[in-house]
Amino acid sequence: MERQLYSTTQAQVSGHKFLQRRMYHGLVFGDVRMIHDPLSRRGRAAIMGGVSALLVGLGAGLFGWLAPDPDPGDSALWRGPGDQIYVHLDGVAYPVPNLTSAHLITGDASQPARVGTSVLAHTPVGPPLGLSRVPYSFEGFTSGTPPVWSVCHDGQRVVISADNRPDPWPEGAGLLAVSGAEEYLIDATGRTLLPPAESIEGRAVRRALNITAATPRWQAPAGMLSAVRQRPDTRIPEGQVVDTGADLWLVDDRSATHLTETQARAIEWTGRPRRVGNVNEIAHLEQRADLVYLPAHDVEFVDPSPRRRVGAGEAGDAPAVCVVDRGLALSQDVPPGVRLVGESEATHFVAPGLVGAAIVDTGFGFVGVSSSGVRHEFVSAGDVALVGGEPVPGAREIITLLPEGTKLDAEQARRGVLGDAAEASG
């Protein structure tokens, strides 16, 4: 007679597992009561330990497979343990203080290859080479857009910025700048040197422009003044002012030049009064271009005095005077920036998007500008492509206001760090 099979119940399975655990507990601990069940916890711990060991072993194996002990091969630039840079020349590894020096020494613009300790242990190591006082690398501006270079003077500081966008200069406004014994009239178009105040022409021009002892004067830093576009010096031409009723003209024997009321006043103040004429008198004369060396319009002078900025309730009354693209501008908020060290008229530098250093094309050569505000001249234009980064445009008149650092010279870099230090101390 066939035996009929029945499926086990959940209670039977659970009871079987319980009796099995009691048997294991009795074999291991000699006690089948199983008041506690430490074998379960130990089993889970053993499983977790095994899994962890397996993962660690796989990670170590993967790391060993990817970079067991890097061999740089034929690369001339090495990056050793601790990110120490070496240049490999003629079988000798020379430590260098920065990536810029490595590029200049080898003439190789590529990135360094990793080198392991075993390769270094079997490679002769030479004395340090390179330039110690140059930027570590030239990564440039992270924004990807060309910077707007400006220099601003707020009465105490001269701040060079690669990220400041000042406001346009107000139409009809001007500055009376003083530099030594000279006075300049500056507006949005540039600067013009005024005649000496004690001369006849100087008094006439100042009277025409309503310049008095009470007119605000800007004590302009010489370097910042030279960054403003230069126009012809102010002078008063020969001839007589003729008023036709519709226009004013400067007339001599052969020609006539159109005048503005301000220009006519300046000429009159030299002792040549205007006379009344007619259009027919002007018609047969050669008409010349307008006078570019005599101010054409009245000027509303801006007060750049620092007391107007720091006085109670007057914050922002006198914004900082800035030079952008060789013209004047205003800035209500000049960032504090990095304080510059060294001989320089500029006191602070602002370049928040600059990493390491940038290559600046001034139109008269290439200059490296570091994030600390030091400029480094490139001795050879051929070295520019070696240090990496794309050149950005910059105004030479502004860049030269930064303190000068070590020149970027491949020949000097090959002489070693000790030679660079000796040159700097000398």
Longest dimension (CA), the chain: 149
User: Residue 33 — very low, low, confident or very high, per pLDDT cuts 50/70/90?
Assistant: low
pLDDT at 423: 43
Higher pLDDT, 422 or 77: 77
325 in the same domain as 340 = no
pLDDT at 66: 61
Say how far apart CA 42 and CA 49 lie, in whole Å.
10
User: For residue 239, what is the DSSP state?
Assistant: S
Which residue, among 175, 193, 181, has the nearest Cα to 231 in the 3D structure? 193
User: For residue 4, what is the DSSP state?
Assistant: P
User: Residue 111 — very low, low, confident or very high, per pLDDT cuts 50/70/90?
Assistant: confident
74 in the same domain as 223 = no
300 within 8 A of 172, measured Cβ to Cβ: yes
Say how far apart CA 88 and CA 125 lie, in whole Å.
9
Residue 365 lies in a domain: yes
343 in the same domain as 366 = yes
pLDDT at 221 over 70: yes
The domain that contains 90 carries what CATH number? 3.30.2390.20
227 in the same domain as 169 = yes
158 within 8 A of 347, measured Cβ to Cβ: yes
Say how far apart CA 379 and CA 400 lie, in whole Å.
16
Say how far apart CA 322 and CA 320 lie, in whole Å.
6
Condensed to tens digits (0 to 9), the pLDDT of residues 243-297 reads 888 888 888 878 888 888 888 889 888 888 888 888 877 787 878 877 778 888 8
Residue 30 lies in a domain: yes
Structure tokens, 425 = 């101390």
Which residue, among 326, 229, 241, has the nearest Cα to 291 in the 3D structure? 241
Residue 37 lies in a domain: yes
119 in the same domain as 255 = no
Other C-beta atoms within 10 Å of 340: how many?
21
Summarize the confidence of residues 305-325 as an average pLDDT: 60
Summarize the confidence of residues 144-173 as an average pLDDT: 84
User: Residue 421 — very low, low, confident or very high, per pLDDT cuts 50/70/90?
Assistant: very low
Phi, psi for residue 424 in degrees, rounded to 5: -65, -40
262 within 8 A of 256, measured Cβ to Cβ: no
pLDDT at 422 over 80: no
42 in the same domain as 100 = no
376 within 8 A of 360, measured Cβ to Cβ: no
User: Residue 35 — very low, low, confident or very high, per pLDDT cuts 50/70/90?
Assistant: low
The fraction of the chain above a pLDDT of 70, given in percent, is 88
Element (DSSP H or E) covering residue 411 = helix 410-413
pLDDT at 40 over 80: no
179 in the same domain as 272 = no
270 in the same domain as 221 = no
Phi, psi for residue 101 in degrees, rounded to 5: -65, -40
User: At a CB cut-off of 8 Å and minimum separation 6, what does 270 contact?
Assistant: 200, 201, 204, 236
- Least confident residue range of 23-32, 162-171, 197-206, 218-227: 23-32
Residue 106 lies in a domain: yes
3-state secondary structure of 277: coil
Residue 426 lies in a domain: no
Element (DSSP H or E) covering residue 251 = strand 248-251
User: 66, 83, 111: which is the final residue of a domain?
Assistant: 66
User: 66, 92, 109: which is the final residue of a domain?
Assistant: 66
Summarize the confidence of residues 81-86 as an average pLDDT: 86
DSSP 358-387: EEEE-SSSEEEEETTS-EEEBS-GGGTTTS
User: Residue 310 — very low, low, confident or very high, per pLDDT cuts 50/70/90?
Assistant: very low
Condensed to tens digits (0 to 9), the pLDDT of residues 121-152 reads 888 888 889 888 899 988 888 877 788 898 98
The burial of 405, by beta-carbon neighbours within 10 Å (0-12 exposed, 13-18 middle, 19 or more buried), is given as buried
Residue 1 lies in a domain: no
356 in the same domain as 342 = yes
Tell me the range of 327-336, 372-381, 416-425 where mean pLDDT is highest.
372-381
pLDDT at 369 over 60: yes
Instruction: State the chain's mean pLDDT as an integer.
Output: 82
Higher pLDDT, 402 or 110: 402
Residue 422 lies in a domain: no
pTM above 0.75, yes or no: no
244 in the same domain as 194 = no
Residue 155 lies in a domain: no
361 in the same domain as 260 = no
Torsion 281-284-285-289 (CA) sign = positive
Structure tokens, 59 = 């990670």
Q: How many domains, the chain?
A: 5
The fraction of the chain above a pLDDT of 90, given in percent, is 15
324 in the same domain as 220 = yes
Domain of 323 in residue numbering reads as 165-233+299-304+317-331
- Least confident residue range of 31-35, 118-122, 387-391: 31-35
User: Residue 116 — very low, low, confident or very high, per pLDDT cuts 50/70/90?
Assistant: confident
DSSP 322-363: EEETTEEEEES-----EEP-SS-S--EEE-TTEESEEEEE-S
